Amino acid sequence: MKAVIFSCSLKKAKNSDSHAWSELMAKTMREQSIATEIINLRKFDYEASLGHDLLHQEMAKCYDADLIIFAAPVNFRNPNFYVRNLAKRFTHAFTKAKLKGIDLFEGKYFEICMMFGCKNDNLSDGTEIYVEYRGKFHRQLIPLLPDLNYILPKRNLGVRCWNPTDRHGPTRFELGNDKEVCKDIQDTIDAFKNNYVKHTPTFSLDVWMECFNSDHTDAFGRGYTLSVDRLSKDNVENHVKWYTDILTMHTSKLKYLYL
């Protein structure tokens, strides 16, 4: 049994709720004899690449995975661009494989865990009341993904995280002591164990990797940011030109559609 967790935070691991949850999930799975690997998107910074796709080789780790989990934070009331671009990557691969007559994710299970601030409401007298999470952020992300087999199809896995302006929910240091968080993790693992059926992909790793490949320079958000360690006057000027060209191209397409 093998699982891969994508930690999709923009923050460094030591400051990230999403990564703290990923580590807790991985630790709990390993304790129950499930081989688990975390892929921290922050380490690759593939949106800052204009050439080689820095994240592409990591997709090989998912080839023989039985469960793939997206652990993603909400920024400005939307799932962040790391996980949105990752979702588009999986959709690209699924669509490409379908044209080859391949069900790329056959036998695999998926799950999404969203990290967000605790949205409570206040009554007219100022009393704060708890508001149950009903899957708003999942509904924003799921349409970007292909039709997948979710291990908890009737649940919206999420963590209402503490933050300085919304002091509810556990901090990243308290996740392991939070009963609700631990129950959700164990429920996910139990569902995985109960539904697990050993399978071997009917296609090679090379085919899998080719399906995830894209020759488009801006595929999956590549090129939309600049890496801090590669900042220079030339890079900034080239990036501004590239981005302007992209905007011009898309604007021209929109004008054509409305003619």
Query: Per the structure, how many domains does the chain have?
Result: 2
Indicate if 235 and 192 belong to the same structural domain. Answer: no
Indicate if 204 and 251 belong to the same structural domain. Answer: no
Indicate if 7 and 110 belong to the same structural domain. Answer: yes
Indicate if 70 and 102 belong to the same structural domain. Answer: yes
218 found inside a domain: no
Alpha-carbon span 111 to 57, nearest angstrom: 22
Indicate if 137 and 10 belong to the same structural domain. Answer: yes
217 found inside a domain: no
Structure tokens belonging to residue 91: 């959709």
Q: CB of 156 within 8 A of CB of 138?
A: yes
Q: What is the pLDDT along the chain (259 residues), one digit of tens a residue?
A: 999 999 998 888 898 999 999 999 999 999 999 999 999 998 887 676 666 788 899 999 999 999 999 999 988 778 888 899 999 999 999 999 999 999 999 999 999 999 987 777 777 887 877 778 888 999 999 999 999 999 999 899 999 888 777 778 888 899 999 999 999 999 999 999 999 998 889 999 999 999 999 988 778 877 666 666 666 776 677 667 766 766 676 555 444 444 4
Alpha-carbon span 4 to 67, nearest angstrom: 6
Indicate if 57 and 149 belong to the same structural domain. Answer: yes
18 found inside a domain: yes
Would you call 158 helix, strand, or coil by DSSP?
A: strand
Report the amino acid identity of residue 198: K
Indicate if 193 and 131 belong to the same structural domain. Answer: yes
pTM: predicted TM-score of the whole model, two decimal places: 0.85
Which domain, by its residues, includes 246?
226-258
